[in-house]
Structure 1
Amino acid sequence: MPEIETARLRLRHFTLDDLDDLYSLYSDAEVMRYLSPRNREQTQASLHKHIQHWQEHNFGMWAVIHKDSGKIIGRCGLGFLENTPEVELGYVFNKSYWRMGLGTEASVATLKYGFWQVNLDRIVAIAQPQNIASIRIFEKIGMKYEKDGHFYNFDVVYYAVARPDWQPDDSLYILRL
């Protein structure tokens, strides 16, 4: 299974042993403010879904490991946008690691994987309009606003980038198969 190393992060596949770390993230109301906090059973179902998605599609959500601490600090990756064939970038990070550029770093690595390894033609991302931090990440990584929409029971802004329009940076990206 592929893993990615960036300057400060390691993106690896989730395992069943990650339940406690994922639950700590998904049960934090502040972290999940623009999503939906999850109880332990919902988190366990999400964990199984993350693992299964990789097995079926060769892409999905990674556990994001901070290399200095060795701890899981979030999740970032690709999945199918609700009720569409489009592939969506998504992420969630522990609030202790906000405002450090780590969401951007993980997102750039995820786009590189999506375009270079999976050969996707286009990647989308959505956020509630008041989620300014996520919108800034979308813009930093080269995504453009396309429209307003409604997904996952929320009104959202919809961003996208097509492979020919995306300009990868020269940040560290080591893929291990």
Structure 2
Amino acid sequence: MSSERPDGDPEVYRMPPEAFRVASDGVAPPAAERPSPPRAPEARRPRPAAPRPDRPARPTVERRRKGWDIALTIVLLVVLLAVAGGASLLGFALGLGSDACGADGRICREGLLVVGVWIALTAPWLVAAVAVFVAIVRLVVRRRAFWVPLVGMAFVAGLWWIGAAVVWAAT
């Protein structure tokens, strides 16, 4: 096998034809029987769609950032974090539900009480973290994001009430 350089180009090497032949008996098939080498797929460019007569062609416009959306989203995210902190503090207050256990012969399920308090403590922060992430992603891709903190606040309130219901069911 030789490693000649065609045209003196140091980047390209030429190998002898024997290096490419593969046959079971050591004899290469005649040129007429050889399969043609596979062709590289041609790069197709999509043809622009012809405007349809029933509707006008819409020009492709890059999405603009809306300043009011960015400002409102940031303000609502701050409010969401404050709501999550408040819900978490109220979750601590739910832990006081265990004070009634044992009084007047009252029996409480401690495991269920702990689960309810942990739901009320941690769920608001998890929802807030997810909402902040989704809002930032939507702002980066230039989509409206002001509604994400609003939905997050609804989920914070809902999950806090679920935690409270679990605590009340335990006492």
State the TM-score, normalizing by the size of structure 1: 0.21
State the TM-score, normalizing by the size of structure 2: 0.21
Report the structure, 1 or 2, having the larger strand content.
1
Pick the structure with greater CA Rg. Answer: 2
